[in-house]
Chain A
Amino acid sequence: MNAMRKCFIGLALVVASLTSCQKEYKEPAPDHAFSVRFRPVVQETDNILEFGKTYTNFFNEPFEVRTFKFYVHDIKLINTENGYTFSVGKDEHFLVDAADTIGSRIDVKVPTATYNRISFKIGVDSVRNFSGAQTGALDPALGMFWTWNSGYIMAKLEGTSPVTGQPGDVFEYHIGGFKAPDNVVQQVSLPFPSPITLRKDAETEIIIAADVYRWFNGVHDIRLDTNPVVMSPGPLAKKVSENYANMFTVLHFISYL
């Protein structure tokens, strides 16, 4: 009997070791799978961007897109009614790449609750711009890092247009800069069409339109003929970021059971 007790102690130890292991490696995680899917569009939220197809901007300049990427961090789900905010974490960075459906989706976990707003920042947290070699979404191999003037390219729009006067008709907007006054990190805060209550047993996806049309105008006029290339931090990059800070619209939610 005594031995039996010993065995129980042993079993208890196994269980204890397993739970202690979980404690050490998993923070008490919010359990609802939540995805943010960015839908690249042009001008109308149902006009899905196709790479290589010709569109015209506000100034009637024709353009084709071949790259459209941006960093997102500091995602928060908010309920302005009761003041509750869930923060995914300031340090979690995501690179959204409109080139494919996987790349344009961000998967996070959030607590089930009712929310009526999402906020996030476009760009890379300033500290991460001088933190040396990094990996994951911030791996410089992803081509979003300026090698000669250290810092991340926080958003990129590239393509062609006959009006640029550049070799190969290219236009290239590499927008970055993390130092005041030319810090291009933009805060975005988007209300939902109506509040959503997340269900415990479901997964939720929010579809947000990201409109390339808004890069060229809105706050500042950025014409392809006069400004076909923006490749370094500065006032011009800042202006472009002030334009694209307005490119997002929440479209709808999808719930998977």
Chain B
Amino acid sequence: MTFRWTILLAAVLFTAGFLVNACKKSGAPAAPPTTPLTFTVPDGWPQPLYNFEGNPITKEGFELGKKLFYDGILSKDGNFPCASCHQQFAAFATFDHPLSHGFDNQFTLRNAPGLFNMVWLPAMHWDGGINHIEVQPLAPITAPNEMAEDIANVVKKLQQHPEYPNHFKAAFGDATVTSERMLKALTQFVGMMVSANSKYDKVKRGELSFTADEQKGYEIFQAKCASCHTEPLFTDNSYRNTGLPLDPVLKDYGRMRITGNSADSLKFKVPSLRNLYLTFPYGHDGRFYAVRDVLDHYSHGVQDGPTVDPLVKNKIPLSDADKFYLQYFLRTLTDSTFIADKRFGPPQ
């Protein structure tokens, strides 16, 4: 008798447990487990502004983001994945192109920047128009001269794809494709791209030391450049007019396009100088082919105007020797580990 009741009790308890469980997962089948990945902040760097709080990084989410980044499916005709303009060997800039090619033989308005250390940026794009890393991909996906797609259509294509729903399930627990999940996966991939292993970094960590020429260049840099290209990210994230004359064809007024304020006319975001020698050409429209051309601009090309920054208004005096040493220093910012990192290469 007691025995029977015990079985019944066990059954009842089991059911109770089951109900509790079912209610926790709101009736859905158990989500497959995910493998967490950790994001490491390099020593001595500030905390990133995007910290993956609402978007915990997992191997599955990261791999999905990588697949999306390298897949033409996000573009209208299938030919323009993110990776067509952001190439790893160029530190994810467009190699050797002032402007990148997009849909229907069109050029982008601006030079594609390298992609690394993105989670430290308070705003993205040369004009700072993008206020959050998660929504950044919406811009290239929908731009008629880039990927020329429609977000709802991309979501539909991914949902109907033979493989993607499974990847979404692995990363997010079920096979539903939403723009939010797609954007979060892309953010896991792009956000993980950290470049902090250049010679400069090794010197900072005490593993190597600068040559005498590099050291001289570093000192000139600290005196004349670092107030805008601030270490360790080599940008202070401000918008400045460095006296580049307006291109009459592109008519790009930079930050003013976003704020509508004439005081922001011709101001552009200070770019990081990390991996500089991989991301040529230079400037927001790629008008400078070589680092030397940029230095020549600072020393005698600056054109004054109402919004030109006081720090460059009277040009930056740089002797030929200064330019020589500066280039030695700037070369130490190349991170060859980053461009060879298989994690960021095309999916196998």
User: Which A residues are within 8 Å of any B CB, using their own CB?
Assistant: 2-4, 6-7, 9-11, 13-14, 16-18, 20-21, 24-25, 129-135, 139-143, 145, 147-151, 182, 232-234
If over half of A's interface residues share one DSSP class (helix, strand or loop), that class is named, otherwise mixed; here it is: helix
With contacts A7-B5, A132-B54 known, is A150 near B23, CB below 8 A? no
Nearest residue (CB) in A for B13 is: A10
Residue of B nearest to A129 (CB): B131
- Contact call A232/B143, Cβ cutoff below 8 A: no
B binding-site residues for A, Cβ under 8 Å: 1-2, 4-6, 8-9, 12-13, 15-17, 19-20, 23-24, 26, 54-55, 125, 129-135, 138-139, 141-143, 150-152, 155, 178-180, 183-184, 187, 257-258, 260
The prevalent SS among residues of B at the interface is helix
Further pairs besides A149-B258, A151-B131: 9, Cβ < 8 Å: A3-B9, A7-B8, A14-B12, A17-B23, A132-B132, A132-B187, A134-B180, A135-B178, A140-B138
Measured CA separation A6–B7 after assembly (Å) = 11
Q: Which residue of B lies closest to A5 (CB)?
A: B5
Question: Which 10 pairs, one residue from A and one from B, show the smallest C-beta to C-beta distance?
Answer: A3-B5, A132-B134, A10-B12, A21-B23, A133-B183, A133-B134, A150-B131, A147-B138, A141-B151, A135-B180
Minimal beta-carbon separation of A175 from chain B (angstroms):
14
| Bound Cα distance from A16 to B17, whole angstroms | 11
Q: Measured between C-beta atoms, what is the minimum distance from B160 to chain A in Å?
A: 15
Task: Please determine whether B131 and A21 come into contact, CB atoms closer than 8 angstroms.
Answer: no
The answer for the CA separation of A234 and B152 in the assembled complex, in Å, is 28
Q: A139 is contacted by which of B17, B20, B178 (Cβ under 8 Å)? A: B178
Contact of A131 among B24, B132, B143 (CB under 8 A): B132
Question: For residue A4, which residues in chain B have a CB less than 8 angstroms away from its CB?
Answer: 5
Contacts of A14 in B (CB 8 A): 12, 15-16, 19
Please report the C-alpha to C-alpha distance between residue A38 and residue B13 in the assembled complex, in whole angstroms: 50
Q: A25-B26, A130-B132, A148-B129 are in contact. Are A139 and B143 (CB under 8 A)?
A: no
Q: How far is the CB of A99 from chain B (nearest CB, A)?
A: 15
Residues of chain A within 8 A (CB-CB) of B130 are 148, 150
B134 lies within 8 A of A234 (CB):
no
Complex Cα distance, B187 from A129, in Å, reads 18
Complex contact B6–A13 (CB within 8 A): no
Q: How far is the CA of A215 from the CA of B54 in the complex (A)?
A: 38
Could you tell me if A7 and B12 are in contact, using CB atoms closer than 8 angstroms?
yes
Residues of A within 8 A of B12 (CB): 7, 10-11, 13-14
Give Cα distance in the complex from A105 to B179, angstroms. Answer: 24
Contact of B19 among A3, A17, A145, A149 (CB under 8 A): A17
A64 CA to B129 CA in the complex, in Å? 32
Q: How far is the CB of A100 from chain B (nearest CB, A)?
A: 16
A17 CB → nearest B CB, Å: 5
Are B1 and A3 in touch, CB under 8 angstroms?
A: yes
Chain B residue contacts of A13, Cβ below 8 A: 12-13, 16
Q: How far is the CB of B139 from chain A (nearest CB, A)?
A: 4
B133 A132 Cβ-Cβ under 8 A:
yes
Q: Is the CB of B135 within 8 A of A132?
A: yes
- The answer to whether A24 and B23 touch across the interface, beta carbons within 8 angstroms, is yes
Query: Are B129 and A143 touching (Cβ within 8 A)?
Result: no
* Residue among A2, A133, A141, A147 with most chain B CB within 10 A: A133
Question: Which residues of B have CB within 8 Å of A17?
Answer: 16-17, 19-20, 23
Residues of A within 8 A of B187 (CB): 132-133
Whole-angstrom CA separation of A11 from B43 in the bound complex: 57
B248 CB to nearest chain A CB (Å): 22
Q: How far is the CB of A227 from chain B (nearest CB, A)?
A: 15
Knowing A17-B16, A145-B138 are in contact, say whether A150-B129 is a contact too (CB < 8 A).
yes
With a 10 A CB-CB cut-off, give which of A6, A132, A143 has the most chain B CB atoms: A132
| Contact assessment for B19 and A21 in the assembled complex, using a CB-CB cutoff below 8 Å | yes
* B133 contacts across to A, CB distance below 8 A: 132
Point out the residues of chain B lying under 8 angstroms from A130, CB to CB: 131-132
Nearest B residue to A9 via CB reads: B9
B-chain residues with CB within 8 Å of residue A20 when the two chains form the complex: 20
CA distance A21 to B141 in the complex (A): 42
With both chains docked as a complex, state the minimum distance between the C-beta of A131 and any C-beta of chain B, in angstroms: 7
Contact of A133 with B131 in the complex, beta carbons under 8 Å = no
